[in-house]
Structure 1
């Protein structure tokens, strides 16, 4: 439970977890002393290391040993864009290793100290300023946003800082890049039908907060991939997109008996979003004929929403 509480990022995070963060950040080996203390946010979200040997504070060692014992790591098919933006940008756990070379430039120091860039969302917002039609891509640009950065944040080179923020974002793989086309952009919640029916939800996006990106009991022999699955439903190039062929069927266990149980099925193709199987509600007569009728009705509704 300690590990779960420690990883519960958000306003309800226990105070002791904040102290643990500070202690992890304070006690680092010599190899990590060049990591700015102000951006040592969390050892499970970033690539810098704290002591994990016998010199570690006992309670913190229990925490890290538990994580190692039960195979804790970040894992998932896809994550909400809002969660992706909460990830620390500095020493991002899933970024290309070249992100480490971007941490100590003059522009990065300005991002940390004057722009207070801490997470992916901060860097993305600053990088997006490059797309402003009023911006001239020059350090002496006098557009409204550059003027704001010079006046209020005392940034001497807004253009350079925007470009550095873009470089940071560009080290992120597709799964962790908020600019990517994510499954949440095209996968939709299944339509609700009859109250007693359960429709399979094929969405793959992990919802929630940063706490929900972690998994236990992972397989150390399997390396998670950071590419995104393309789950868009596309018709074959030679298909008539105005028509669709649907196979329907109904079946019934103990057909004709008092304890009969009927079901309906729809099949369009492998992994097609319209594929369905459903049990008939008890208020409908339990027979294979009714199963076939229900399957046909459901197919018509799904094909013409």
Structure 2
């Protein structure tokens, strides 16, 4: 598929076209094997794309850097414009994935690193010996600049929900007194490999590529809220669903909501609407 593209396709080098669904390049449909045509047509029909609230660093690192699906095209094109540095990144360092560029960028964090072509830090020495790199500092700097260009949600060098959400869940579990209580799972990070990033039935709206702030507030008042949803004639054509939020007797914050027509009438819908109303 990577060979079956228009002459103007970017990236120019075939080995950098890793996955059409993770990058911006598109294959020419004409002449493709029927199996590949069918796969692409199904993906388009069901609006397949990369989407999610948060991803683990393993997933971020597994995505292609060249022609990254969510990287700003102009900034990336400028940094990857053909040059000796870019050629060295591709041919000597064999940097293709975000993780490859991150490993190069990490060299700059070495306390003994110097901004010099002759830097003698351990990282630069390794890159000279193993990758035959003439100027590791320049290559590592370019790698860092490329990482910084990525949207925050896809930058593995930033702080993400993965760093704290599990500890937050443990803290909630330790606060439980009643054994029948179950803490609401606030973890939003998708784990696994790069195949876990795809979603179907997505909308045409732009994807939010910022970092979702999910850290628990350490101080401040707490509020106990009860939510529920219900549905009469659940599963039938005349089903009608509702949602409720209860704070306390006669509280002004109590809510009851009739699920509007046009939205699926079911118990599950009522429960979700109740949670959204409480939030």
Q: Scaled by the length of structure 1, what TM-score is found?
A: 0.66
Unaligned runs of 5+ residues in structure 2 are 227-245, 249-279
Is the Cα contact below 8 Å between 1:72 and 1:214 reproduced in 2? yes
Residue-by-residue CA offset, 1:247-305 (whole Å, 9 max, x unaligned): 488xxxxxxxxxxxxxxx999xxxxxxxxxxxxxxxxxxxxxxxxxxxxxxxxxxxxxx
Equivalence for 2:173: 191
| Structure 2 residue 44 is the aligned partner of structure 1 residue 68 | yes
Equivalence for 2:257: none
d(CA) in 2 for partners of 1:245, 1:156: 59
Is the Cα contact below 8 Å between 1:150 and 1:158 reproduced in 2? yes
Unaligned runs of 5+ residues in structure 1 are 1-23, 236-240, 250-264, 268-305
Residue-by-residue CA offset, 1:12-67 (whole Å, 9 max, x unaligned): xxxxxxxxxxxx11111111165211111111111122113x33332211111010
Equivalence for 2:15: 38
- Aligned residues, how many? 223
* Structure number with larger C-alpha Rg: 1
Change (3 A) 1:245 1:133: closer
Is the Cα contact below 8 Å between 2:92 and 2:131 reproduced in 1? yes
2:3 equivalent among 19, 26, 46: 26
1:93 equivalent among 62, 66, 69: 69
Equivalence for 1:272: none
Is the Cα contact below 8 Å between 2:62 and 2:194 reproduced in 1? yes
d(CA) in 2 for partners of 1:43, 1:245: 47
2:85 equivalent among 94, 107, 120: 107
d(CA) in 2 for partners of 1:83, 1:34: 22
Q: Scaled by the length of structure 2, what TM-score is found?
A: 0.72
